[in-house]
Chain A
Amino acid sequence: MTEYLTLSMLLFSIGAVGVLVRRNAIVVFMCVELMLNATNLAFVSFARQHGNLDGQVAAFFVMVVAAAEVTIGLAIIVSIYRTRRTTSVDEANLLKA
């Protein structure tokens, strides 16, 4: 049981660090996915531990949301790439106050 949670924590940390340090939008994206899947793992482990299906259901929800998010996110990245010829997240700072 602890192993699963440790793995989940490791994956989440890797994903979080990736989001923070990488500039390439695709990689950031993959790191976000990694974090989502880390939580999925935790959900499923806890579901198993508690013996009910709540965690499993939550995991499915996360997958669905992740899929939708990927679709839209990739679309945005593609359109940014088309106009700016780069996928660096630091270049997209138009929202600067």
Chain B
Amino acid sequence: MLELSWLLIAIPLAGAALLLTWGKESDRFGHLIATACSAASFVLGLVMFIQLAGRDPEDRSVTETLGTWIDAGAFHVEFSFTFDTLSSLFVLLITGVGTLIHVYSIGYMAHDPRRRRFFAFLNLFIAAMLTLVLAADYLVLFLGWEGVGLASYLLIGFWQHKPSAAAAAKKAFVLNRVGDLGMALAIMTMFAWFGTTSIAAVNAQVHSVSGNVATALGLLLLLGACGKSAQFPLQAWLLDAMEGPTPVSALIHAATMVTAGVYLVVRSHDVFDASPTARNFVIAVGFITLLAGAWIGCTKDDIKKALAGSTMSQIGYMMLAAGLGPAGYAFAIFHLLTHGFFKANMFLGAGSVMHGMNDDVDMRHYGGLSKAMPITFYTFGIGYLAILGFPGTSGFFSKDKIIEAALGHNIWVGLAALLGAGITAFYMTRLMLMTFFGQKRWREGVHPHESPAVMTVPLVILAALSLLAGVMALGDWIEEWLEPATGHPVHHELAVPIWVVTVIVLVVVAAGVALAWVLYGRREIADTAPADSEVSVFTRAGRAELYGNNVNDALVGRPATHLTRALVWADAKVIDGLVSGSADRIGEISGELRKPQTGFVRSYALMVLGGALVVLLGLLAVTLA
């Protein structure tokens, strides 16, 4: 069954095609088809995973070629897919969490007239994301890469009647395209230097080229990863992307698509192994985004945006880990998986809260919801503990590993990761306190209620996974499992024993929680946000998303607008002006020439006479001469 990778993709793709072309009569059951497609893919993926696990470690990679995609001259690309230890984990994450979110969406989107299309797009996303992680060729990966971009575009802008949603969708696509620029150039570089774009071949040959090429390749891939994973400097789209329906935020903008950048870095690990410079850039990007995302998360009152800031920050952790090289690849993927569980869980929980609060997203209008929505509260609480890294939860294992590895690499990077953990504790506690505790600040006419079972069951399952996914770290299973795909992990010896690091992390986290409790737990929370002028400069910057949009606008947006206007003017006046100008000159000349044509016969006769005389005189002159 291991050669059936293509079927994993084909099932949801067929589902999407079916739902998009089938008429209105499928409105009643379209969502069930889509969910079934996703579930079928999950079951198949699970069977394949078990089979793979049954093989010897060095045998755990199956590449299957469907046929030739492009064959033009020297350019040759096969439609081929690799099912190995790395992609199998992703397949399970994508289809597993994907199926849960399909189920959840049945309830969440129950009253939307365009529900069938929503599910079609979700299936399209699953298919594209699977293509991305299963691809054995960078160009096939690029197909999935842009496919998830398209699905993300369609789903962010799903409520297209809202101009803000349409604008956010466009912004996400365009910023992603900037990243794709890097991807495309990286693939061209591969073709120019290696004559192939196969992932295996490129990674095998990259050690034989000069460091400059590897660095260029690494930086270009990193640019692509930054676009897709909302990392600095292409981070600006993710917060706007929260305009999409909440299940979309959970699936695409938290659990799966935004982690594609991390996947890309880990998948191309040979490129980054060959270039320490590129790896340092990866660390720098992760470092900056880790802190920036956390900062933004601290200041947002919109529950989804606070979570989105957190997502940025957590992906920053993963990037940082991936940048550490062989020491961090496995931990990056491990954190990616646990984050996929607990963040999806919390986003869906946030969706459940919004569902009960008439789609209000302002946390200042929440408060005291733990009684009204017990299941949502408890499942969200488990996610909260997991992201904090509470001992025993999945986040405890995955985040600690990254902090340890970071400390082993460089003390400052490690301290930043540690600081990030403290800030995470602060903003997540703030979010919990504002939403579920304290007094009720509900708006009139809002009657919070628990969501239906179709929405809470996925929450419970995801909560269980958030709690238990830490088992993957037992006996270093995850590192050993990933070894065939990411290489042998390297451990740096720390100056202090591991348990000291763990204690320090816990102390920092506890400090974050305590600070949040002091600021938001003990005091009453104003039910309108203080104006920008009343808050500190830090809060103001965080609310403005660290001025990322302003910078983009000033550096690219406005100059481009002016350039466009100038070009439109120049095209009409200068370039076309030359063309129509020369036509006008010819017109003027003929205008002058026609003046003698008076219409008077006698003046023509005079001209004839004059002409005859000239000819005569000319003849005479010639003869005499």
Contact = CB atoms under 8 A, between A and B. Distances in A.
Q: Within the complex, are A and B direct neighbours (CB within 8 Å)?
A: yes
A92 B598 CA distance: 11
Contact of B605 (A19, A92, A97): A19
Interface string A73-97: 0000000000000000110111111
Contacts of B68: none
B599 A96 contact: yes
Contact of B598 (A19, A28, A89, A96): A96
A16 interface: yes
Interface string A12-45: 0000100111010000100000000000000000
B597 A97 contact: yes
A90 B600 contact: yes
A36 to B, nearest CB: 14
A89 B601 contact: yes
Interface string B580-609: 000000000000001101111110011001
A93 B606 contact: no
A19 B599 contact: no
Contacts of A89: 600-602
A90 B605 CA distance: 12
A97 B609 contact: no
A20 B605 contact: yes
Contacts of B598: 93, 96
B606 A97 contact: no
B601 A92 contact: yes
Nearest to B606: A20
A94 B600 CA distance: 9
Contacts of A97: 594-595, 597, 599
A90 B602 contact: yes
A52 B446 CA distance: 126
B contact residues, range: 10 to 19
Nearest to A16: B609
A72 to B, nearest CB: 15
Contacts of B599: 93-97
Nearest to B605: A19
Nearest to A17: B609
Contact of B609 (A20, A28, A90, A96): A20
A94 B605 CA distance: 16
A95 B601 CA distance: 9
B613 to A, nearest CB: 10
Contacts of A20: 602, 605-606, 609
Contacts of A93: 598-601
A89 B601 CA distance: 6
Contacts of B605: 19-20
B602 A95 contact: no
A20 to B, nearest CB: 6
Nearest to B603: A20
A61 B227 CA distance: 93
A47 to B, nearest CB: 21
Contact of A95 (B597, B606, B609): B597
Contacts of B609: 16, 20
Interface string B213-231: 0000000000000000000
A94 B599 CA distance: 6
Nearest to B598: A96
A94 B598 CA distance: 9
A37 B599 CA distance: 27
Contacts of A92: 601
Determine which residue in A19, A21, A92 has the highest number of CB atoms from chain B within 10 A of its CB, and name it.
A19
Interface string B598-624: 111110011001000000000000000
Contacts of B606: 20
B479 to A, nearest CB: 93
A96 B595 CA distance: 9
A93 B599 CA distance: 4
A14 B601 CA distance: 18
A5 B224 CA distance: 100
B615 to A, nearest CB: 15
Nearest to A31: B605
Nearest to A96: B599
A16 B606 CA distance: 9
A20 B606 CA distance: 6
A81 B566 CA distance: 62
Nearest to B602: A20
Nearest to A23: B602
Contacts of A16: 609
A18 B590 CA distance: 32
A68 to B, nearest CB: 20
Contacts of A96: 597-599
A77 to B, nearest CB: 12
Contacts of B597: 95-97
A63 B259 CA distance: 103
A19 B597 CA distance: 18
A28 B598 CA distance: 18
Nearest to A95: B599
A19 B602 contact: yes
Contacts of A23: 602
A93 B602 CA distance: 10
A89 B604 CA distance: 12
Nearest to A94: B599
Contacts of B594: 97
Interface string B406-441: 000000000000000000000000000000000000
A96 B597 CA distance: 6
A52 B166 CA distance: 99
A96 B600 CA distance: 8
Contacts of B602: 19-21, 23, 28, 89-90
A44 B597 CA distance: 37
A92 B601 CA distance: 8
B181 to A, nearest CB: 59
A19 to B, nearest CB: 5
Contacts of B600: 89-90, 93
B611 to A, nearest CB: 13
A85 B186 CA distance: 87
B610 to A, nearest CB: 11
11 contacts: A19-B602, A19-B605, A20-B609, A89-B600, A89-B602, A90-B600, A93-B601, A96-B597, A96-B598, A97-B595, A97-B599
Return the 4 tightest CB-CB contacts between A and B, nearest first. Answer: A96-B599, A93-B599, A97-B597, A97-B594
Given A20-B609, A23-B602, 12 more contacts: A19-B602, A20-B602, A28-B601, A28-B602, A89-B600, A90-B600, A93-B600, A93-B601, A94-B599, A96-B597, A96-B598, A96-B599
